Amino acid sequence: MARAVSTQHKTIATAAAWIVALLIFFPILYTIITSFKSEQEAIQGFNLFPSGTTESYIAVEAQNGYFKFFLNSVFLSVGSTILALLVAIPAAWSMAFSPGKWTKDILMWMLSTKMMPAVAVLFPIYLIFRDTGLLDSRIGLMIMLMLINLPIVVWMLYTYFREIPGEILEAARMDGASLWKEIVYVLAPMAVPGIASTMLLNIILAWNEAFWTIRLTTTEAAPLTAFISSFSSPQGLFWAKLSAASTLAIAPILIMGWFSQKQLVRGLTFGAVK
């Protein structure tokens, strides 16, 4: 009897999970469907079965050229993630294994920077970028993306490192390992899953960042967020083209997310970052 109830619960839970997942994924699915419609089909109300035309993709590519934006997106998301890990791994290590009196406060303070609306610092940042010649440069934007995602990276790594018993590191130290060796040969291998999921999440965050990437770039460093933005029109219905541009922009990250979902789920469900 008890078994029957639990099976029933399981079925309901699974069905509910599917419904929620479909609801969340539906806008993306409909974007992909719309991208294979003609402009006239796109505005003619709800329709799940497109004619399958690829004219929007051809028009989008001809108008703006996808590849340059794509390369910038890859460079910025991967570059900023590597940069963030270089800073965050030592920071999280010290906070997790030799916490001081202020560690908790520092962590909270770091997180609090994420609570400020980005637009509040648009002008100061713009002026700094102007004076340092970093406007529309990949390096400048990479540093910016690294900085805005750093709090999350440090938090994720911190919560992950905290699950590693300090005794193992102590043992390594007793065996004469230096600090560097301790991090590279003992901590890092154990923390690989945590670092990997942090890396994946950060790449996704950097890929989708659409405030600074649009405002600090013009032509050279503009990534896919700027590519999508260029297809939004105040006068004229270009829904199919906009959908095609969006599909092209999210496809790489969607595929990457699909293949690495195990790591991602793990990264998102441990510790304080949920």
Partner 1 sequence: MKLRTLTLGLLSASTLAFAAHAESITIATVNNGDMVRMQKLTDDFTAKNPDIQLQWVTLEENVLRERVTTDIATKGGQYDVMTIGTYEVPIWAKQNWLLPLDKLGDDYDVKDIIPAIANGLSVDGKLYAAPFYGESSFVMYRKDLMEKAGLTMPDAPTWDFIKQAAEKMTDRANGVNGVCLRGKAGWGENMAFLTAMSNSFGARWFDENWKPQFDQPEWKNTLQFYVDLMKANGPEGASSNGFNENLALFQQGKCGMWIDATVAASFVSDPKNSTVADKVGYALAPDNGLGKRGNWLWAWSLAIPAGTQKADAAQKFVSWATSKDYLELVASKEGWANVPPGTRSSLYANPEYQKAAPFAKMTLDSINAADPTHPTVKPVPYVGVQFVAIPEFQGLGTTVGQLFSAALAGQTSVDDALKQAQDAATATMTEGGYIQ
Q: Of the listed pieces 27-35, 47-55, 142-150, 223-231, which binds partner 1 according to CB under 8 A?
A: 223-231
Count the site residues for partner 1 by CB under 8 A: 30
Rounded least distance, CB 136 to partner 1, Å: 6
Q: Where are the alpha helices (H) located in 117-223, listed in sequence order? A: 122-131, 138-162, 166-174, 179-181, 188-208, 212-215
Tokens linked to 249: 């922009």
Instruction: Measure the CA–CA gap between 32 and 126, rounded to whole angstroms.
Output: 35
Instruction: Measure the CA–CA gap between 260 and 203, rounded to whole angstroms.
Output: 12
Q: Which residue, 226 or 244, is less far from partner 1 as judged by CB?
A: 226
Residue 98 binds partner 1 (CB under 8 A):
no
Instruction: Measure the CA–CA gap between 83 and 87, rounded to whole angstroms.
Output: 7
> Angle at the Cα of 84 (from 165 to 113), degrees rounded to 5?
95
Residue 249 binds partner 1 (CB under 8 A):
no
Q: Which residue, 8 or 63, is less far from partner 1 as judged by CB?
A: 63
In the block, tokens 């303070």 appear at 109
Q: How many CA atoms lie within 13 A of 203 on its CB side?
A: 22
Q: Which H or E run contains 245?
A: helix 239-259
Residue 238 binds partner 1 (CB under 8 A):
yes
Rounded least distance, CB 45 to partner 1, Å: 8
Rounded least distance, CB 238 to partner 1, Å: 7
Residue 237 binds partner 1 (CB under 8 A):
yes
Q: Which residue, 84 or 249, is less far from partner 1 as judged by CB?
A: 249
Residue 270 binds partner 1 (CB under 8 A):
no
Check: CB of residue 240 under 8 Å from CB of residue 42: yes
Q: How many CA atoms lie within 13 A of 253 on its CB side?
A: 25
- Give the one residue of 19, 22, 29, 43 binding partner 1; rule: CB under 8 A: 43
Q: How many CA atoms lie within 13 A of 251 on its CB side?
A: 13
- Give the one residue of 8, 11, 40, 51 binding partner 1; rule: CB under 8 A: 40
Residue 236 binds partner 1 (CB under 8 A):
yes
Residue 58 binds partner 1 (CB under 8 A):
no
Q: Site residues for partner 1, window 108-137 (CB under 8 A)? A: 122-123, 126-127, 130, 135-136
Residue 64 binds partner 1 (CB under 8 A):
yes
How many C-beta atoms surround the C-beta of residue 36 within 10 A? 21
Rounded least distance, CB 133 to partner 1, Å: 10
* Binding region for partner 1 (CB under 8 A): 39-40, 43-45, 63-64, 122-123, 126-127, 130, 135-136, 214-215, 218-219, 222, 226, 229-238
